[in-house]
Structures are given as C-alpha cells and as structure tokens.
Structure 1
C-alpha cells in the first residue's frame, strides 16, 4: 500500500505561518486516519484552518 498526501501552501494561503498550518493539518489528519479502512481507494480532501480545500490524501495499491 502507498499513502500519498498532497498539500498546497500557496502564497495566498490564509496562514502567515505555512509551517504552522501544515503542522495543524498533519496533526488533524494523523488523528483522523483511524476512521478509515486504509485500503487502496480510500481518500479525503484536506482543508486549511479557514476550511478551504488545499489538498488531499489517498491510499493506492503499492504494486
């Protein structure tokens, strides 16, 4: 299995602290992953602190 996480930290991001925003995203989704089967095909949209879509994660077959 392969876990892929993509987050866009663009210049127009709401956070003045991109590292802090990414830390918040990783902390939230790290704790939330237990709600998923973690099988190929699982995926979810990632939102920033202002609830704007900034990326997504997904699970793919590792082969």
Structure 2
C-alpha cells in the first residue's frame, strides 16, 4: 500500500506554510484511526473548510 498526500500550494491562500503545517498535523493524528489495509481517498480542505486544496490517498502501487 502507498499513502499519497497531495496539496495544491496555489490553492492555499494567505499563509501556505501555516496551512500545510495544519493539514499535516491533522492527518498525522488521523492516521492512527485509519484502516491501512483498505484503499481510501479523502479531500484536504483549507482551514475554513470552504475549498478543497488537495487529496490524501491510500492505494495499491
């Protein structure tokens, strides 16, 4: 299995460094609750949850 996190930095407004850090912290905490044996895909949202700025994917190969 492969875990892929993709963030469109052009879609992140204001402070990209802070937004990327927030996204990484959130998903780092969520990994413990994920089933890492099944494929899954989730949107990555901006801090106001008004726009998708990327995707996190658990997939084969």
TM-score normalised by structure 2 residue count: 0.81
C-alpha offsets along residues 27-52 of structure 1, whole Å, 9 cap, x if unaligned? 01110122210124122111110212
Moved over 2 A (4+): none
Q: Which runs of 5+ in 1 are unaligned?
A: none
Say which one has the larger Rg.
Answer: 1
Checking the alignment, whether the CA contact within 8 Å between 2:12 and 2:19 is kept in structure 1 is no
Q: Which runs of 5+ in 2 are unaligned?
A: none
1:1-63 equivalences in 2 (<5 Å): 1-10=1-10, 13-14=12-13, 16-51=14-49, 52-62=51-61
Q: Compare the two structures and name the one with the higher helix fraction.
A: 2
Q: Considering only aligned residues, what root-mean-square deviation do their CA atoms show, in Å? A: 1.5
CA apart distance, 1:13: 2.9
